[in-house]
């Protein structure tokens, strides 16, 4: 069976002066070294009786309370596995939606005893069982294990504490899983004969999270309606970007007019994952003039209000909508070159108080607030390298 491996290759953007490729993703404040939250930061607050959502290909699906209860198990158990984050939860939901439609399935033809455990119906797919259709013969666990939803979630997540470690591989055992598309990451765990199925369920997984969960807040928001963020994260994966046009006055590469470049441009390959820099609430998502497709997120950082703007994503590569709650490091979009742009890159702006007339240097703001690169080394303000979590 075919396994997918996706590699992100850094690409230079043709706007403004290009600086050499940086070996690390962000400058880090030593005082903030422990601030990176690697777990999902989500808690289940309610389970509705039903939920209707659309798949990526536009098909409307309705999930009942039993299916949503299994989703809650994935969120709750998955969040407790060290090393998971929101993206990991989304990938797990995508896999379970694809494999079982979020149902605990027995398989009486292969294992008659599986019908003795609580189940939502029977599956005849080889010797597959449960939410993720895991196979006893492939080493995922005993029939008793695999008829336990919580066990299946822990096995899917994997990692050093996973019940199946080191093989079969769970999500955390897949090298560079965070740099893959979510569909490819799900396939890397499931090793399905139909690898392209998973991506279709990503919008539904996002709708489930929005309906069932609330982010964990670290404290008050300084009078803002948006809770204080748990952490600040660099918006692109380590090793995927170059700083191609810094904040400040420049000659605009398209109009030829000298004007303030109100953000920082990071050149990166088409499709590179863009992450929210902090916990927050999406203010807008869609086309925004010269920015092309853009997302604006409201945050509270250090008791102060900010808005982050991410620009130039391709159509169909915006994964959050206005009103959505996001967590630091959440995959919100993919790098593109939509709008007034001469090449694929992320244009990032940070505006205090969500005031369009207030502009600050985003790269400096990230450093000042101890932004960390998920899963990689970071550089301290003196240039010495500190090992990230």
Give the pLDDT score at 2: 31
Asked which of 186, 215, 244 is the last residue of a domain, the reply is 215
Asked which of 191, 215, 239 is the last residue of a domain, the reply is 215
Using pLDDT thresholds of 50, 70 and 90, give the confidence band for residue 363. Answer: very high
Are 118 and 190 within one domain? yes
Burial of 321 (0-12, 13-18, 19+ CB in 10 A): middle
Query: 70-79, 87-96, 367-376: which range is least confident on average?
Result: 367-376
Residue 257 belongs to a domain with what CATH number? 2.70.70.10
Per residue in 122-167, pLDDT (tens digit) is 987 789 999 999 999 999 999 999 999 999 999 999 999 999 999 9
Using pLDDT thresholds of 50, 70 and 90, give the confidence band for residue 364. Answer: very high
Q: Which two tokens stand for residue 65?
A: 């309370």
Regarding predicted confidence, which is higher, 364 or 31? 364
Beta-carbon-side half-sphere exposure of residue 320 (alpha carbons within 13 Å): 28
**Is residue 8, in this structure, part of any structural domain at all?**
no
Domain with 286, as residue range(s), is 30-35+219-386
Distance CA 190, CA 36 (A): 29
Burial of 200 (0-12, 13-18, 19+ CB in 10 A): middle
Of 252, 343, 244, 347, the residue nearest 294 (C-alpha): 347
**Is residue 2, in this structure, part of any structural domain at all?**
no
Give the pLDDT score at 372: 87
Asked which of 167, 185, 215 is the last residue of a domain, the reply is 215
Total domain count, the chain: 2
């Amino acid at each position: 069976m075919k396994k997918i491996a996706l590699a992100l290759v850094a690409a230079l953007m043709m706007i403004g002066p290009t600086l050499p490729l940086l070996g690390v993703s962000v400058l880090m404040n030593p005082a903030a070294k422990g601030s990176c939250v690697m777990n999902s930061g989500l808690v289940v607050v309610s389970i509705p009786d039903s939920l209707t959502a659309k798949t990526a290909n536009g098909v409307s699906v309705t999930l009942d309370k039993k299916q949503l209860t299994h989703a809650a198990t994935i969120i709750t158990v998955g969040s407790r596995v060290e090393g998971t984050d929101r993206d990991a939860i989304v990938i797990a939901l995508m896999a379970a939606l694809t494999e079982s439609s979020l149902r605990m399935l027995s398989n009486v033809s292969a294992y008659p005893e599986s019908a003795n455990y609580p189940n939502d119906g029977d599956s005849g797919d080889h010797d597959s069982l449960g939410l993720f259709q895991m196979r006893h013969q492939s080493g995922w666990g005993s029939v008793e294990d695999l008829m336990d939803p919580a066990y299946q979630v822990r096995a899917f997540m994997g990692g050093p504490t996973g019940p199946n470690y080191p093989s079969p591989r769970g999500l955390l055992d897949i090298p560079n899983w965070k740099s893959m598309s979510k569909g490819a990451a799900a396939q890397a765990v499931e090793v399905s004969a139909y690898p392209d199925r998973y991506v279709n369920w990503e919008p539904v997984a996002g709708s489930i999270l929005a309906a069932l969960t609330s982010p964990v807040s670290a404290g008050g928001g300084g009078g803002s309606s948006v809770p204080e963020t748990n952490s600040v994260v660099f918006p692109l994966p380590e090793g995927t970007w170059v700083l191609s046009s810094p904040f400040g006055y420049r000659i605009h590469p398209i109009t030829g007019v000298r004007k303030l470049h109100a953000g920082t441009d990071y050149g990166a390959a088409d499709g590179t994952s863009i992450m929210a820099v902090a916990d927050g609430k999406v203010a807008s998502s869609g086309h925004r003039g010269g920015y092309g497709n853009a997302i604006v997120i409201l945050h509270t950082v250090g008791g102060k209000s900010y808005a982050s703007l991410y620009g130039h994503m391709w159509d169909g590569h915006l994964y959050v909508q206005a009103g959505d709650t996001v967590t630091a490091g959440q995959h919100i979009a993919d790098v593109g070159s939509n709008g007034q742009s001469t090449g694929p890159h992320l244009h990032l702006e940070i505006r205090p108080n969500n005031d369009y007339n207030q502009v600050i240097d985003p790269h400096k703001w990230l450093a000042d607030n101890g932004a960390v690169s998920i899963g990689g080394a970071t550089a301290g303000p003196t240039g010495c390298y500190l090992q990230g979590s």
